Structure 1
Amino acid sequence: MSYEMIALLMFSTMMVMMLTGQRVFGAIGFVAAVAALFLWGEGGVEMPFTAASKLMSWYPLLTLPLFVFMGYMLSESGIASDLYKMFHVWMGPLHGGLAIGTICLMVLISAMNGLSVAGMAIGATIALPEMLRRGYDKVMVTGVIQAGSSLGILVPPSVVLVLYGMIARQPVSDLWLAGAIPGLMLATMFVVYIVVRCRLQPELGPVLPKEERQMPLAEKLSLLKAGILPLAIFVVMTGFFVAGITSLVESSAIGATSAMLAAIFRKRLTFKVLESTIKQTLNISCMFMWIILAALAFGAVFDGLGAVKAIESLFLEKWGLSPWEILILMQLSYIVMGMFLDDTAMLVIVAPLYIPLVIALGFNPIWYGVLYTITVQVAYMTPPFGYNLFLMKAMAPPEISLVDIYRSVIPFVLIMIFALVIVMSFPEIALWLPEYVKG
């Protein structure tokens, strides 16, 4: 059997296993281990063990549980709820103000957590009921929460970019810096859309009633305190890192410790909060570690097969595609896969092929990491099986149907595609900040 057929068989077996409901890391790791045994006999047994050794000795891996802990501590202790109350009062007098405040909240949650699921959970449980109760259009606010929560995988400290950095063997610090400006650009685009749409159709986002807006200035200013702690944590954590005072791991430790101190300062660090935070941190961290382990083993088999060279030869020599045409095909494949798989599964499946190919084609792997993440955001919200669509349906009240959810994402998906085109056309948007910090 040719190596091309072996690679195709591995992919098809893995996809079939996933469609039967097997866990991502189980399907990938099983296919990698069995393929290694069949191809190299007893020597293939060493591949998973070598992958495990690589994983356990990779020092930056410590950032993963520390950043996840930081996010869940701030969320479980109610600091995120305080933030929404602040935006609620300050943005309420504007048409669509609560929707704008929700996007701002999502940016801050993203900077505290690095996961889109956390933003979705907070938005659906805190922001969505408030906006519906005040007469906001259910289709628009559903789209706002889904789009805002997707920023969690782009705005640093993005856990998805950590995973990409581990698999692509690229500096996580550069990836975070590269994702910052495109993430803020996307958030600004969402806000501009909400402002324009609500100006044209004021009934979609009515202003708050006068009795809720009439509040002494001193009380309004006191609400701003809710944003001081999260902002201080983020500034201290990233400021020391960018200044070169701390390493990436040390910064993540500062963030986790600061989040716990913030909860103590607010007198909200109870045993229940600590237990819930530790459990969720353990669940997320173990899931990512198993996925990375499976990905490393799978990638080792592909390296041994020479599949990357075969794909490169197919695209460039047999099909005669240009590097940009290949890049666009890659992004389209992510959108198709995103209808069925989550971001980690997509990355693990195609990373052994795509990332070496991107480097061989002369593209910057840091820039490509940002393109991958934005494309995943689009895939998350693409009907019929986008990951965020069903997550939203599970959390939304009964009056919001699946059709409403499908309709709600259309303008935001178009905005994301526009942002993707901009970053593809002008790579400096993603690469300027990492180069500036290095310089």
Structure 2
Amino acid sequence: MSYELIALLMFATMALLLVTGQRVFAAIGFVAAGAALLLYGNGAIELPYNQVFKLFNWYAMLTLPMFIYMGYILAESGIAEDLYKMMHVWFGRLPGGLAVGTILVMVIISAMNGLSVAGMAIGATIALPEMIRRGYDKVLISGVVQGGSSLGILIPPSVVLVLYGMIARQPVSKLWFAGLMPGLLMAAMFIAYIMIRAKLNPKLAPPVPPEELNLSFAEKLALARAGIIPFLIFFFMTGLFVFGYTSLVESSAVGATCATLAAMAKGRFSWKLIRETSMKTLSVSCMFLWLILAALAFGAVFDGLGAVKAIENLFIGQWQLSPWMIIIMMQLSFLLLGMFLDDTAMLVIVAPLYIPLVASLDLGFDNQLIWYGVLYTITCQIAYITPPFGYNLFLMRSLAPREITLPDIYRSIWPFAAMMALTIVLLMFFPQIALWLPEQLNVRG
């Protein structure tokens, strides 16, 4: 049996296990261990097992539980709710002001959390009911929440980019700053779209009554305090990291500590909060660890077969595809996989194949794997929010108020998916949108 056929059989077996409902890490790990035993004999059992030591030698792994803990404890401390009240007053006079404020809140939450799910949960439970009560169009605002939640995977500290950095062996610091400008660019596109639509059709986003916005200076000052805590957390966590005072792991510890102090300052710190937050953090962190371990084991066997070279020869040697055609094919495959898998599962399944292939292509600029990490995260999020099986669509339906139906959610997402696709096109034509900032900043990894 040829190596190409063995590689195809490995992927087919993994796909079959996933269709039967097996956990992603179990399916990938089983195929890796089984293929190693069948190909190399009993001694090969050490091949996937040795990946455990490789995983635990990655110092950056310590950042995962820190960032996840920080996100959960901030959600419980009520900071997001205070932020939304502040944005409600500050941006209420603008066309579509509440929707604009929702996007800005999600940018801030992304900078403190790193997970898109947290942004969606906050938007669906806090912002959506308020905007529906004020007569906002339900299709528009459900798109706002889904589009805004996608910013969590790009703006530092993105947990997905941390995982990509570990698997692709790229500096997480560079990936973070590569994702920052595209993330802010998407946020600016979303805000411009909301304001233009609200200006053209005020019925979609009725203005906030002036009496609600005419507050005294003392009241506005009290609301402004809601933005101080997020700013301080972001400064101490990311600012110290940028200026070289802390490493990546130290920065994550600073963020987790600041989040705990914020909960104390708001009087919501308790042992019950710590216990619940710690249990959630442990659950999510262990899931990520198992996924990375399975990906490393699968990649070790896959590389041993020489399958990456075989695929490279097929695309470039036999089919004579250009490097950009190969990149586009990869992105289309992510859109297809996103109908059935989440972004982390997609990464660990295709990383052994795609990452070495991207590194071998001649795209005409340096830091290709850094650039591709940003491209991957945006493409996966498009897959995540587009019908018919986008995971976030059903998550949104479970979190949103009863007035918003699944057809409303399906209709709402297309303008935001189009703006995300436009961001990808811009990144392909102008890679420096992602690469300029990490090239300018000299940070510790």
TM-score band, normalised by shorter chain: over 0.9
Give a deviation string over 1:186-218, Cα, whole Å, max 9, x none.
Answer: 101100000001000111111112332232132
User: Is the Cα–Cα contact under 8 Å of residues 338 and 383 in structure 2 kept in the other structure?
Assistant: yes
Query: Structure 1 CA distance, aligned partners of 2:40 and 2:414?
Result: 49
Q: Which residue of 2 aligns with 1:431?
A: 435
Query: Structure 2 CA distance, aligned partners of 1:298 and 1:22?
Result: 16
The equivalences for 1:380-419 within 5 A come to 380-419=384-423
Unaligned runs of 5+ in 1: none
User: Is the Cα–Cα contact under 8 Å of residues 77 and 273 in structure 1 kept in the other structure?
Assistant: no
1:118 offset after TM fit, Å? 0.6
Give a deviation string over 1:254-298, Cα, whole Å, max 9, x none.
Answer: 110111111112221122222221121111111100000000000
Moved more, 90-99 or 281-290: 90-99
Aligned amino acid, residue 246 of structure 1? T
The equivalences for 1:94-173 within 5 A come to 94-173=94-173
Query: Structure 2 CA distance, aligned partners of 1:270 and 1:365?
Result: 43
Give a deviation string over 1:202-239, Cα, whole Å, max 9, x none.
Answer: 11111112332232132112201101111111111111
Q: Which residue of 2 aligns with 1:234?
A: 234
User: Is the Cα–Cα contact under 8 Å of residues 110 and 116 in structure 1 kept in the other structure?
Assistant: yes
The equivalences for 1:72-91 within 5 A come to 72-91=72-91
Query: Structure 2 CA distance, aligned partners of 1:31 and 1:133?
Result: 51
Q: Which residue of 2 aligns with 1:372?
A: 376
Query: Structure 2 CA distance, aligned partners of 1:281 and 1:124?
Result: 22
Counterpart of 2:60 in 1: which secondary structure?
helix
The equivalences for 1:188-207 within 5 A come to 188-207=188-207
User: Is the Cα–Cα contact under 8 Å of residues 71 and 112 in structure 2 kept in the other structure?
Assistant: yes
Query: Structure 1 CA distance, aligned partners of 2:399 and 2:240?
Result: 37
TM-score by length of 2: 0.97
Query: Structure 1 CA distance, aligned partners of 2:123 and 2:112?
Result: 14
User: Is the Cα–Cα contact under 8 Å of residues 87 and 98 in structure 1 kept in the other structure?
Assistant: yes
Counterpart of 2:41 in 1: which secondary structure?
helix
1:45 offset after TM fit, Å? 0.5
Query: Structure 1 CA distance, aligned partners of 2:89 and 2:200?
Result: 23
Q: Which residue of 2 aligns with 1:420?
A: 424
Query: Structure 1 CA distance, aligned partners of 2:269 and 2:8?
Result: 51
Q: Which residue of 2 aligns with 1:315?
A: 315
Q: Percent identity?
A: 67
Query: Structure 1 CA distance, aligned partners of 2:148 and 2:282?
Result: 25
Q: Which residue of 1 aligns with 2:33?
A: 33
Paired residues, number: 439
User: Is the Cα–Cα contact under 8 Å of residues 359 and 365 in structure 1 kept in the other structure?
Assistant: yes
Counterpart of 2:22 in 1: which secondary structure?
coil
Q: Which residue of 1 aligns with 2:347?
A: 347
Give a deviation string over 1:372-431, Cα, whole Å, max 9, x none.
Answer: 011112111111011111111111222222111110001001101111100111011101
Moved more, 274-283 or 223-232: 274-283
Q: Which residue of 2 aligns with 1:271?
A: 271
Query: Structure 1 CA distance, aligned partners of 2:370 and 2:305?
Result: 26
Query: Structure 2 CA distance, aligned partners of 1:64 and 1:129?
Result: 32
Query: Structure 2 CA distance, aligned partners of 1:303 and 1:116?
Result: 32
Aligned amino acid, residue 3 of structure 1? Y
Query: Structure 2 CA distance, aligned partners of 1:275 and 1:184?
Result: 35
Unaligned runs of 5+ in 2: none
Query: Structure 2 CA distance, aligned partners of 1:24 and 1:54?
Result: 20
Aligned amino acid, residue 45 of structure 1? I
User: Is the Cα–Cα contact under 8 Å of residues 74 and 263 in structure 1 kept in the other structure?
Assistant: yes
User: Is the Cα–Cα contact under 8 Å of residues 155 and 180 in structure 1 kept in the other structure?
Assistant: yes
Query: Structure 1 CA distance, aligned partners of 2:188 and 2:280?
Result: 31
Query: Structure 2 CA distance, aligned partners of 1:58 and 1:94?
Result: 47
Query: Structure 2 CA distance, aligned partners of 1:64 and 1:16?
Result: 30
User: Is the Cα–Cα contact under 8 Å of residues 76 and 276 in structure 1 kept in the other structure?
Assistant: no
Query: Structure 2 CA distance, aligned partners of 1:133 and 1:30?
Result: 50
Query: Structure 2 CA distance, aligned partners of 1:211 and 1:276?
Result: 40
Aligned amino acid, residue 112 of structure 1? M
Aligned amino acid, residue 435 of structure 2? L
Moved over 3 A (4+): none
Query: Structure 2 CA distance, aligned partners of 1:425 and 1:223?
Result: 42
User: Is the Cα–Cα contact under 8 Å of residues 153 and 159 in structure 1 kept in the other structure?
Assistant: yes
Aligned amino acid, residue 413 of structure 2? V
Counterpart of 1:385 in 2: which secondary structure?
coil
User: Is the Cα–Cα contact under 8 Å of residues 128 and 401 in structure 2 kept in the other structure?
Assistant: no
User: Is the Cα–Cα contact under 8 Å of residues 139 and 405 in structure 1 kept in the other structure?
Assistant: yes
Q: Which residue of 2 aligns with 1:258?
A: 258
Query: Structure 2 CA distance, aligned partners of 1:239 and 1:400?
Result: 39
Please tell me the root mean square deviation across aligned C-alpha atoms, in Å: 1.1
Counterpart of 1:94 in 2: which secondary structure?
coil
